[in-house]
Chains A and B, each alone.
Chain A
Amino acid sequence: MITLSLEKESIEQTFETTVPFQMENILKVNSLEIFYGEKRAVNGISMDIEKNSVTALIGPSGCGKSTFLRSINRMNDLIPGARAEGEILYEGLNILSQQINVVALRKEIGMVFQKPNPFPKSIYENITHALKFSGIKKKSLLDDIVQESLEKAALWDEVKDRLHKSALSLSGGQQQRLCIARTIAMKPAVMLLDEPSSALDPISNAKVEELIVELKKDYSIIIVTHNMQQASRISDKTAFFLNGDLIEYDLTEKIFTNPSVKKTEEYISGRFG
């Protein structure tokens, strides 16, 4: 066990892994429980999400990983009867608190969904829609942000000549990258990706994965995925969920080559799920 402390930011961390240097955490989850009515979907999990990394959440269907993800940007509020207990600390605040302005929160914690869901508007408007709402009106500024976001999402070259065409005319993979672009445009700190390429063909999937690895330089990414190969390819740390419990959370390399918990090993080798 190595205990380190950072003088600069005074955060104490305890690691059980062989990490050579200190990583800053962007999210701290403490004893999080999520209920749908009487049914408990997530049973008291605690974990820290590192800044500028890709954290993968894996596990069989119904294990609670998507529920957990959606609680981070308070999307579970949309479901009647859903409630969360415990803490998720972001920038020192518990974002589960009723005092939080969720609208402002979601600008900083963005989400990309499983099925690409661009607005039935032009490519340009898809990106500017949320920007205009948050007060950016100047056209030149909007144009810059659109270009910047599309470039970061590796989509600019493909659409720069048809920005005002409908977003629905793009292919599935392009639509998903557009959804990523419009999330990037809000300059979030965290990006939550809920099985972002499960609805895409393998080539688009590869492009999206490349993109994610690039993006972690500027954003902290949490990705839920059914695809274990994907998790092992692109993530730095992986968390394995089962029946609402966090079974194991460690460096990706370790999870996939030498997991500590037997259940993890069984899932990885395909014995269930």
Chain B
Amino acid sequence: MNSKTADRLATGVFIAIAIIIISILVGLFSFILINGLKHVSLHFLTTPSSNVMAGGGIRDQLFNSFYVLIITMLITIPLGLGGGIYMAEYAKPGKVTDTIRSCIEVLASLPSIVIGMFGLLMFVNLTGWGYTILGGALALTVFNLPVLVRVSEDAIRAVPRDLKEASLALGITHWHTIKTVILPSAFPSILTGAILAAGRVFGEAAALLFTAGLSTPRLDYTNWNPFSDQSPLNIFRPAETLAVHIWSVNTQGLIPDVEEVSNGSAAVLVLSVLLCNLLARWIGSMIHKKITATK
């Protein structure tokens, strides 16, 4: 076969590959949304789940997913920001910086099940807490932190150098420059990265299996005292999240309507992640417009 034919054939193959990839996505999404959305109703979202009977909802799991996400972000965002500032502004090239980068790389690539095991060891057994929201959040911090450090570092490095020099040349200290000139400029990118990271955390299950647990105690949503056992705000209680719930009803559960519940939960999960992605993109394009319009 001559080269022209081969070229045409190859082009065809590549187009086919692109089509395959797109079809996979379209197929997956349609399946999830078509099968799932019909089960998602206000009732579904606000009814507590059931372990044995049909008709259970995902109220507690949904709340837990959000709450664990919030706690995780509360821990990782300041730490990630601090780490990113350090790497971008203070770290000098050398052994120590290389070590930190290696640590970031290691933490980012550990399988989530391994992190879950570490969480089990440290935050469940060693501390004696048992399954807790805090334990789950700390486990999630382990692999969310490198992401946020990288996001912050990249965003800070992207701020043009002459802005920093302008501030320093006016007799402003380094830290104040970071606080008032660099961070505000880097903020939109950091926000975008944080929202994307939140989307990933929301769908995480393996790390929470052994740390936040597979159950939720009876919750009283009118009780806002975080120290009470029945309050949903108590971070020292076990909390099955939505993603974990999908897994457990399919592998351990006995409920007869497992498919309906799973489909509905999957739809909610995927939609939430999709929303995060869209939000991040929207903010990203708004920033882009702002920067390019005024210059």
- Do any CB atoms of chain A lie under 8 A from CB atoms of chain B in the complex? yes
Q: B167 to A134, Cβ gap below 8 A? A: no
Question: A183 to B169, alpha carbons, bound, how many Å?
Answer: 9
Nearest chain B CB to A105's CB is how many angstroms away?
8
Task: Give A104 to B165 CA distance when docked, in angstroms.
Answer: 15
B166 pairs with A117, CB closer than 8 A: yes
Residue of A nearest to B185 (CB): A120
Tell me if B24 is interfacial: C-beta within 8 Å of chain A: no
> Shortest Cβ distance from B156 into chain A, in angstroms?
15
**A107 in contact with B171 (CB, 8 Å):** yes
Query: Is A182 in the interface zone, CB < 8 Å from B?
Result: yes
Please name all residues of chain A whose beta carbon is closer than 8 Å to the beta carbon of B185 when the two chains form the complex: 120
With A and B bound together, what is the CA distance between A168 and B167 in angstroms? 16
Q: Which of B160, B171, B176 contacts A117 (CB 8 A)?
A: B160
How many B residues touch the partner, as a band? 20 to 34
Interface residues of chain B, those whose CB is within 8 Å of chain A, are: 92-93, 160, 162-163, 165-173, 176, 180-181, 184-185, 294-295
Question: Could you tell me if B170 and A115 are in contact, using CB atoms closer than 8 angstroms?
Answer: no
CB distance A111 to B173 under 8 Å?
Answer: no
* B169 and A119 contacting across the interface, CB-CB below 8 Å: no
Q: Give the shortest distance, in Å, between B189 (CB) and chain A (any CB).
A: 14
* A117-B163, A168-B295 known; A104-B92 Cβ under 8 A: no
Report B191 CB to chain A, min CB distance, Å.
Answer: 16
Instruction: Report the Cα distance A118→B181, complex, angstroms.
Output: 11
Contacts A103-B172, A118-B166 supplied; 20 other A-B pairs, CB < 8 Å: A75-B165, A78-B165, A78-B168, A80-B92, A108-B171, A110-B170, A113-B166, A117-B160, A119-B163, A119-B166, A119-B167, A120-B163, A120-B184, A120-B185, A129-B167, A129-B181, A133-B180, A134-B171, A179-B166, A183-B169
Cβ of A169 within 8 Å of any chain B Cβ, yes or no, is: yes
A110 CB → nearest B CB, Å: 7
Given known A-B contacts A80-B92, A129-B180, A117 and B165 have beta carbons under 8 A apart: yes
- Report the separation of the CA atoms of residues A65 and B168 in the bound assembly, to the nearest whole angstrom: 20
Contacts of B184 in A (CB 8 A): 120
Is the CB–CB distance between B170 and A183 below 8 Å? yes
- Does A174 lie at the interface of the complex (its beta carbon under 8 Å from any beta carbon of B)? no
Bitwise, A77-98 to B at CB < 8 A (1) or not (0) is 0101000000000000000000
Residues 100-153 of A at the B interface (beta carbon under 8 Å): 103-108, 110-111, 113, 115, 117-120, 129-130, 133-134
Partner of A129, one of B92, B170, B294: B170
Interface residue tally of chain A, by bracket? 20 to 34
Residues on B with C-beta less than 8 A from A108 are: 171
Residues of A within 8 A of B93 (CB): 80
Interface string of A174-188 (1 = CB under 8 A from B): 000001001100100
A204 within 8 A of B: no
A113-B170 contact in complex given A80-B93, A168-B295, A169-B294, C-beta closer than 8 Å: no
Closest residue of chain B to A134 (Cβ to Cβ) is B171
List of A residues within 8 angstroms of B163 by Cβ: 117, 119-120
Closest to A170 in B: B294
| A133 to B163 CA separation, bound complex (whole angstroms) | 16
CB contacts (< 8 Å) of A111 on chain B: these are 169
Instruction: Chain B residues near A264: list those with CB within 8 A.
Output: none
Which residue in B160, B166, B172 is a CB contact (below 8 Å) of A133?
B172
Chain A CB within 10 Å — which of B166, B180, B295 has the most? Answer: B166
A117 x B162 contact (CB < 8 A) = yes
Query: Nearest chain A CB to B179's CB is how many angstroms away?
Result: 10
Contact between A113 and B172, CB atoms less than 8 A apart: no
Q: In the bound complex, what is the Cα–Cα distance between A120 and B185 (angstroms)?
A: 8
Residues of B within 8 A of A119 (CB): 163, 166-167, 181
What is the CA–CA distance of A73 and B169 in the complex, to the nearest angstrom? 8
A205 within 8 A of B: no
Report if A67 contacts B (CB, 8 A): no
Query: In whole angstroms, how far apart are the Cα atoms of A104 and B166 in the complex?
Result: 15
Query: 4 tightest CB-CB pairs across the interface, nearest first?
Result: A107-B171, A130-B170, A168-B294, A117-B162
Residues of A within 8 A of B166 (CB): 113, 117-119, 179
How far, in angstroms, from A168 to B185 measured CA to CA in the complex?
13
Assembly CA distance A120 to B170 (angstroms): 16
The reply on A243 being an interface residue by CB < 8 A is no
- Asked whether, in the complex, the Cβ of B162 is within 8 Å of the Cβ of A113, the reply is yes
Q: Given B92, B169, B172, B180, which contacts A75 in the complex, CB threshold below 8 Å?
A: B169
A46 part of interface (Cβ distance < 8 Å)? no
CA of A113 to CA of B161, assembled, Å: 12
- CB B13 to nearest CB in A, in angstroms, measures 48
B165 touches A103 (CB 8 A): no
Chain A, residue nearest B170 (CB): A130
Given A78-B168, A166-B294, decide whether A103 and B162 contact each other with a Cβ distance below 8 A: no
Do A106 and B165 touch across chains, with their CB atoms under 8 A apart? no
Q: Which A residues touch B92, using CB under 8 A?
A: 80
